[in-house]
Amino acid sequence: MRLLIVEDEKRLALSLAKGLTAEGYAVDVVHDGREGLHRATEGTYDLLILDIMLPGLNGYRVCAALRAAGDDTPILMLTAKDGEYDEAEGLDTGADDYLTKPFSYVVLLARLKALLRRRGPGASPVLVHGDLRLDTAARRVHLADAEVTLTAKEFAVLEQLATRPGEVVSKARILEHVWDFAYDGDPNIVEVYISALRRKLRPGVIGTVRGAGYRLEAER
């Protein structure tokens, strides 16, 4: 799951990014409305957290421009408490939900998860493949009824494979969805996580397709 935060209050943006990264999301942050619109248009995000009062282009206009272009990525809008901007207007421009500052991080996380669950028909929070079961809302994994404890990043890598069972998922795709755009380390980090998952699950659950990527294998 990849999220974009468009928020010019840098401390708030960075603390949100830190919290959400710890939850296992890949998070990109920009501080300007125009840059936010550009990034949202170019990137493949699962959700946008969009402030309203932004330099460059305000959040309403970013939201309206995305919707006008047919982009239906869920948008959670943030606004200041003073009531200068009202909720109705935010929802009118196509935002999916609205949060007034100051908000609790726990509330933001709950709203964000609700939006991600709601997104798209057939987007089930529970992915089942053979005897492997991923609950994407609770972020828990079971294999043949035994719970497997994964780190947030391990879970995110497995989730990328489990949403496309039997299909080859490229290393680039996993990198793009699990690590953020600022990641400039070794792309072989994906291999490290795949190895860890194989150890924790069982050999053969994740297959390697040489030169192409990885695949969640059919039950044998």
x/- map, 114-153, Ca ion, by CB under 5 A: ----------------------------------------
x/- map, 158-187, Ca ion, by CB under 5 A: ------------------------------
Interface stretch with Ca ion, choices 4-12, 93-101, 186-194, 207-215 (CB under 5 A): 4-12
Min CB(197)–Ca ion separation in Å: 39
Min CB(60)–Ca ion separation in Å: 12
Q: Which value, to the nearest 10 degrees, does the dihedral of the CA atoms of residues 42, 45, 51, 56 take?
A: -10
- CA gyration radius, the chain: 18
- Cβ-in-10-Å burial (0-12, 13-18, 19+) of 68 comes to exposed
Q: Is 213 left (phi over 0), alpha (psi -120 to 50) or beta?
A: left
196 binds Ca ion (CB under 5 A): no
Q: Closer CB to Ca ion, residue 23 or residue 35?
A: 35
Interface stretch with Ca ion, choices 7-15, 55-63, 64-72, 157-165 (CB under 5 A): 7-15
- 121's tokens: 């028909």
14 binds Ca ion (CB under 5 A): no
- 197's tokens: 């998952």
Min CB(81)–Ca ion separation in Å: 12
Min CB(6)–Ca ion separation in Å: 9
Q: Point out the residue whose Cβ comes nearest to Ca ion.
A: 53
Q: Closer CB to Ca ion, residue 53 or residue 64?
A: 53
Min CB(98)–Ca ion separation in Å: 15
Residues 15-74 that bind Ca ion (CB under 5 A): 51, 53
Which residues contact Ca ion (rule: CB under 5 A)? 8, 51, 53
